[in-house]
Amino acid sequence: MLEFKDVSLTYPNGHQGLKNINLKINDGEFVVVVGMSGAGKSTLIRSINRLVTPTSGELLIDDENILKYKENNLRKLRTKTGMIFQQHNLVKRMSVLRNTLSGRLGHMGTLRSLLGMFPQDDVNLAMSNLNRVGIGEKAYTRADQLSGGQQQRVSIARVLTQKPKVILADEPVASLDPPTAHKVMSDLKRISREDNLTTLVNLHFIDMAQEFADRIIGLRDGEVVFDGPVSEVSDKTFEEIYGRPIKEDDLLGGDED
C-alpha cells in the first residue's frame, strides 16, 4: 500500500508544489491523476520515486517511510518503481532490446553493466516484455527508427523489465496522436491488470481519464480537490477540479479508430 500522510513539498524557490496531501492507494489500483498544467501532478508522482523529495509529512510504501531513504535504499525503491515519461527517454542510438534491458541496470553491478554483460535471464525477460507490448520484431532496430507510439511501448517494456511493483506514468501519451494515445493507454492498462501493478498515471484529457481509471484524483494548486472512483465522476467534477468550464481542448477525442 502507498500512503501519503500530510505530505507537503516546497520548492527551493519557495513555491509550494504540494500542500498537505493525504492519500491511500491500494495495491493493484489504477489511478489517474488529473489537474491543470501546474497543478502539481508531476510533483505528486515524482515524490513516489523521490525524483523530488517532499519537505514535510510521511510517504509510506508498505508501511516504510520512503522520505527517510538515502543512497542505497533509494536505489532499491527506484528499481521497484517504474517510471514512464512523456518524452519516452530512450537512447536513440541504441537498439530497442538494449534500451529495454537498461531497465535492469538497478539490479546489476556497475562493472557488469559497463561491459554490457546482461545475464541471459534478463535478456529473455526484456525480449518477452517487448513481445507483450507487441513490438518483439523491432528488438534489433535502433530506437530512433520507431514511431512515437512504438517508442512509448518500448518504455513500457523497459519499465516492466525492472519487475516493478508500482508504475508511475507522467503524461505518457501527451505527445501522441489520438488513436495511438488510445492504444498505448490500453496496453498500459492491460499490463497493469495482468501483473497487478499499482499504477498512477497523470493525464491531461478527461475523456481518457474516465475511460481508463479505476479511481480519479483531482489536483489543483498542489491540493487534492477530488478523490473517488471513476463511477462518481461527471463533467461537473472536472469543472470543479479545473476551476472552469470544460473545453474542447480537455478532450482527446478520436477514441474509435
Partner 1 sequence: MSNDVKFPPKPKRTKLKIKLGITLAVLAALYTVALTTTGFEVRPSASSAWHTLQRIFIAPLFDADTRAAFPELVGYMLETIAIAYAGLSIAAILAIPVGFLAARNMTGNNLSYIGKGILNAIRAIPELIFAIIFVAAVGIGPYAGVLAISINSIGMLGKLYAEVIETIDMSKVEAIKASGGNRVQAMWYGVLPQVVPEFSSYAIYRFEIDVRASTVLGIVGAGGIGFPLLLATQQRNWEDVGMILYVVVIFVTIIDIVSGKIRNKLV
Ligand X SMILES: Nc1ncnc2c1ncn2[C@@H]1O[C@H](COP(=O)(O)OP(=O)(O)O)[C@@H](O)[C@H]1O
Of Mg ion, partner 1, ligand X, none, which one does residue 92 interact with (CB within 5 to 8 Å by kind)?
partner 1
- Binding partner 1 (rule: CB under 8 A), the pick from 5, 52, 58, 85 is 85
Smallest distance from the beta carbon of 85 to partner 1, in angstroms?
6
Binding mask 29-68 for partner 1 (x = CB under 8 A): --------------------x-x-----------------
Question: Toward ligand X, which CB reaches closer, 11 or 26?
Answer: 11
Q: Please state the closest distance from residue 96 (CB atom) to ligand X, in A.
A: 28
Quote the CA–CA distance of 169 and 191 in Å, as a whole number.
13
Whichever of 37 and 72 has its CB closer to ligand X, that residue is: 37
161 near Mg ion, rule: CB under 5 A: no
Judged by DSSP in three states, 69 sits in: coil
**Is the distance from CB of 31 to CB of 216 less than 8 angstroms?**
yes
Residue 110 as a binder of partner 1 (CB under 8 A): the answer is yes
Three-class secondary structure of residue 46 per DSSP: helix
Q: Binding to Mg ion by residue 47, rule CB under 5 A?
A: no
Q: How far apart are CA 227 and CA 232, in angstroms?
A: 9
Q: How far apart are CA 95 and CA 154, in angstroms?
A: 10
Which option in Mg ion, ligand X, partner 1, none does residue 192 bind, with CB closer than 5 to 8 A by kind? Answer: none
**149-180: b (≥16 Cβ within 10 Å) or e:** bbbbbbbbbbbbbbebbbbbbbbbbeebebeb
Q: Which of 12, 13, 70, 114 binds partner 1 (CB under 8 A)?
A: 114
Number of Cβ within a 10 Å radius of residue 87:
13
Among residues 7, 31, 32, 39, the one that binds ligand X under rule CB under 6 A:
39
Q: Which residue carries 496522436 as its cell?
A: 177
- Residue among 7, 25, 34, 41 that touches ligand X (CB under 6 A): 41
CA distance 89 to 102: 11
Using alpha carbons, select from 162, 155, 117 the residue that is nearest to residue 135: 155
Strand residue runs (E) in the chain: 2-10, 16-25, 30-34, 56-61, 64-65, 81-84, 166-170, 198-202, 215-220, 223-229
| Residues found near ligand X in the complex (CB under 6 A) | 11, 13, 15, 17, 35, 37-43
| Residues found near partner 1 in the complex (CB under 8 A) | 49, 51, 75-79, 81-83, 85, 87, 89-94, 102-103, 105-108, 110, 113-114, 155, 158-159, 162
